[in-house]
């Protein structure tokens, strides 16, 4: 067992306490408690409609939340505390925050008229104010890291789904994010293309990136995750070491879900 002194050494990058979110009458997040430490890979598993994507969107302030505490990188997401009061972030504060969080979706959302390297470079010139040539150099470096150096000039339609998703990962990494969020990054891919994307993510994990990954890939969760969180009906039902949660779940709801997917 680790001592409290050791525990406090690893910084919490994400801390959620009782996070709630409704769409109209539908309560989607019903008090989510969740933590991610620096350099940790957290996998979120759970049935469709349980609130996984909504929670991820709250983490990078694409969605607002109604109640609870949500800290990312020590920042109270969406709010600034000033003179004893909370003020909602302005547009610039939201944009700054989002530019530090990498997000990779099921659909790659690449610009069809731009090459792979231009897709990666565009945020560097537009958001970071880099020169075109410096941005293109950086883009090629990031593409090389995901094994796409030979494909940098190609447009999305000339690339496979797995290659396009790796471009999307390179695009997120080019912004030097402090944390990377993945929402079912392999769910839209043909089965034979899944592994190349998971491999790129695994390399990123080994390089020490803090990652939150919503996935149905139990093999990836078992092998790469430090912690697995089982979401069901808007709450985290069970969290822990993947070997524990996936092989020896304690809660009936976790057992029932795993019996269906494993």
Rounded CA gap, 257 and 259, in Å?
5
Shortest distance (Å) from residue 67 CB to ligand ADP: 16
Q: Which range binds ligand ADP by CB under 6 A, 21-29, 89-97, 116-124, 192-200?
A: 21-29
User: Could you say whether residue 186 binds Mg ion (CB under 5 A)?
Assistant: no
| Residues 22 to 41 in contact with ligand ADP, rule: CB under 6 A | 23, 26, 28
Residue in 28, 41, 46, 53 binding Mg ion, rule: CB under 5 A: 53
Shortest distance (Å) from residue 53 CB to Mg ion: 3
Q: Do residues 38 and 31 make contact, with C-beta atoms less than 8 angstroms apart?
A: no
User: Could you say whether residue 186 binds ligand ADP (CB under 6 A)?
Assistant: no
Contact mark string toward ligand ADP, 54..93, x via CB under 6 A = x---------------------------------------
Shortest distance (Å) from residue 128 CB to Mg ion: 29
Rounded CA gap, 59 and 138, in Å?
27
Rounded CA gap, 208 and 262, in Å?
28
| Cβ proximity to ligand ADP, 107 vs 203, nearer residue | 107
Long-range contact pairs involving 233-239 (C-beta distance under 8 Å, separation at least 24): 233/30, 233/50, 233/51, 234/27, 234/28, 234/29, 234/30, 234/31, 234/32, 234/50, 234/51, 235/29, 235/30, 235/31, 235/32, 235/33, 236/32, 236/33, 236/34, 237/46, 239/34
User: Could you say whether residue 50 binds Mg ion (CB under 5 A)?
Assistant: no
Rounded CA gap, 4 and 6, in Å?
5
Rounded CA gap, 127 and 99, in Å?
8
Residue in 53, 60, 163, 164 binding ligand ADP, rule: CB under 6 A: 53
Of ligand ADP, Mg ion, none, which one sits near residue 51, judging by CB under 5 to 8 A according to partner kind? ligand ADP
User: Could you say whether residue 50 binds ligand ADP (CB under 6 A)?
Assistant: yes
Positions touching ligand ADP (CB under 6 A) are 23, 26, 28, 48-54
């Amino acid at each position: 067992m680790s001592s409290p002194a050791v525990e406090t050494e690893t910084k919490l990058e994400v801390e959620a306490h009782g996070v709630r979110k409704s769409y109209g009458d539908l309560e989607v997040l019903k008090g989510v408690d969740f933590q991610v430490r620096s350099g940790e890979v957290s996998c979120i598993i759970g049935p469709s409609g349980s609130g996984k994507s909504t929670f991820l969107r709250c983490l990078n302030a694409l969605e607002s939340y109604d109640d609870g505490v949500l800290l990312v990188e020590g920042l109270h997401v969406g709010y600034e505390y000033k003179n004893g009061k909370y003020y909602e972030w302005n547009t610039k504060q939201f944009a700054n925050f989002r530019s530090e969080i990498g997000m990779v979706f099921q659909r790659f959302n690449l610009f069809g008229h731009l090459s792979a390297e231009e897709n990666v470079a565009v945020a560097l010139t537009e958001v970071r104010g880099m020169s075109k040539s410096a941005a293109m150099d950086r883009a090629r470096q990031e593409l090389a890291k995901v094994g796409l150096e030979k494909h940098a000039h190609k447009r999305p339609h000339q690339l496979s789904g797995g290659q396009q998703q790796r471009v999307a990962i390179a695009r997120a990494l080019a912004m030097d994010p402090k944390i990377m969020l993945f929402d079912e990054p392999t769910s839209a891919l043909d089965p034979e293309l899944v592994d190349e994307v998971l491999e790129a993510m695994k390399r990123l994990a080994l390089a020490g990136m803090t990652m939150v990954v919503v996935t149905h890939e139990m093999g990836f969760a078992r092998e790469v995750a430090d912690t697995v969180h089982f979401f069901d009906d808007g709450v985290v039902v069970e969290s822990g070491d993947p070997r524990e949660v996936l092989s020896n779940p304690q809660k009936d709801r976790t057992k029932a879900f795993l019996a269906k997917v494993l």
